[in-house]
Amino acid sequence: MFSTLLRLGAAAALVLSSATAHAACTPAIADSDLIAPGKLQLSINPTNPPQQFVDKDGQLQGLNVELAAELGKRLCLPVELVRMDFPAMIPAMNAGRIDGINTGMFWTEERSKLMYMVPSSMQAISVVVAPDSGTKIATEADLIGKTSAVEVSTYQMNWLKKLSDANVAKGGPAIEMRTFPTATNVVSALLAGQVENALLVDSVARDLVSRGRVKEVLSGLGVARTAMAFRSKTVTDAVVKALNEMRSDGSYQRLFDKFGLTPLPADQPIAIAGSGPA
């Protein structure tokens, strides 16, 4: 159950489950390892259905919301989901405002040196256009010379920049890239005709296609792991243990099946990937 909507500065937060639900068990994480005693605070950007989104009643829904609730049960701690745009998440965690990030962030070597990252799913990039667009994009090379919208500071932005830079290095034209703070803004710019195409996480693209809002013209680009991330090694170890318990009892797979998303392959362990912060 969701509690009353709370405000943390400019970010809204929701607490998953009540304190009384955990009265009969011992928290797996000590207060000394948490930003705020007695609760685990994780950031979320609810503009990426079906990973995380706000329903018609204003409630947070999606795979990452239900994952956080299940982790809270297993850790014996209320989980507070703090809503904020993605670019603010890593600075907020480094500044000690939140314990971790729960928004389906792509794993990269660079990020893995800034925080403890735990890959837990697989994602890719899709290219979408407006439903009535006649733009032809059959391969990634067809993005060259076009105007594309992407969410700022994201894996898809970096992927597109590398593609553009590589073409410029060969003497060709660049991709005109326009960045926006959220996926919602990206889609709005596309439908307003400000750009020719947009790059989205594939699950977000599929959701929009199912509602007739966009047309997918290319998919499966840059397949990579997505991860949760944390500032404390102790917190990370507790979450890893809980995720592996979920994997063993089948609840992890059932959750991904429910939302039509791709879990981490069975031959890949759920564990910290990368060195973590120095």
pLDDT computed for residue 22 by the predictor:
56
Q: Yes or no: say if 38 and 78 are a contact pair by the CB < 8 Å rule.
A: yes
Which residue, among 16, 106, 21, has the nearest Cα to 61 in the 3D structure? 16
Residue 64 has pLDDT above 90, yes or no: yes
Helix (H, G, I), strand (E, B) or coil at 205: helix
pLDDT computed for residue 17 by the predictor:
59
Task: Report d(CA 168, CA 146) in Å as an integer.
Answer: 13
pLDDT computed for residue 7 by the predictor:
34
pLDDT computed for residue 13 by the predictor:
67
**Judging by DSSP bridges, how do beta strands 116-129 and 215-230 pair with one another?**
antiparallel
pLDDT computed for residue 14 by the predictor:
72
Q: What is the mean pLDDT of residues 92-105?
A: 96
C-alpha 191: how far from chain center: 23
pLDDT digits 0-9 by tens, 105-145? 999 999 999 999 999 999 999 999 999 999 999 999 999 99
Residue 21 has pLDDT above 60, yes or no: no
pLDDT band per the 50, 70, 90 thresholds, residue 263: very high
Name the amino acid, one letter, at 215: K
Instruction: Give the DSSP H or E segment for 229.
Output: strand 215-230
pLDDT band per the 50, 70, 90 thresholds, residue 241: very high
Mean residue pLDDT across the chain: 92
pLDDT band per the 50, 70, 90 thresholds, residue 54: very high
pLDDT computed for residue 278 by the predictor:
78
Q: Give the CATH number of domain 6-122+225-263.
A: 3.40.190.10
Q: What is the mean pLDDT of residues 58-64?
A: 96
If one compares 137 and 16, the residue with the highest pLDDT of the two is 137
Which residue, among 159, 162, 144, has the nearest Cα to 200 in the 3D structure? 159
pLDDT computed for residue 9 by the predictor:
36
Half-sphere exposure of 228 (CA within 13 A, CB side): 33
**DSSP state for residue 271 in the 8-state scheme:** S
pLDDT computed for residue 3 by the predictor:
32
pLDDT band per the 50, 70, 90 thresholds, residue 4: very low
pLDDT computed for residue 6 by the predictor:
32
Q: What is the mean pLDDT of residues 151-176?
A: 96
**Judging by DSSP bridges, how do beta strands 215-230 and 100-106 pair with one another?**
antiparallel
In terms of phi and psi (left: phi > 0; alpha: psi -120 to 50; beta: otherwise), the region of 83 is beta
**pTM, entire model:** 0.86
Show me where the domains of the chain are located: 6-122+225-263, 124-223
Asked if the domains at 6-122+225-263 and 124-223 fall in one CATH topology, the answer is yes
pLDDT computed for residue 253 by the predictor:
98
Selected from 3.40.50.620, 3.10.20.740, 3.30.450.40, 3.40.190.10, the CATH number assigned to the domain covering 124-223 reads 3.40.190.10
Q: What is the mean pLDDT of residues 4-10?
A: 33
Lowest mean pLDDT among 5-14, 85-94, 119-128: 5-14
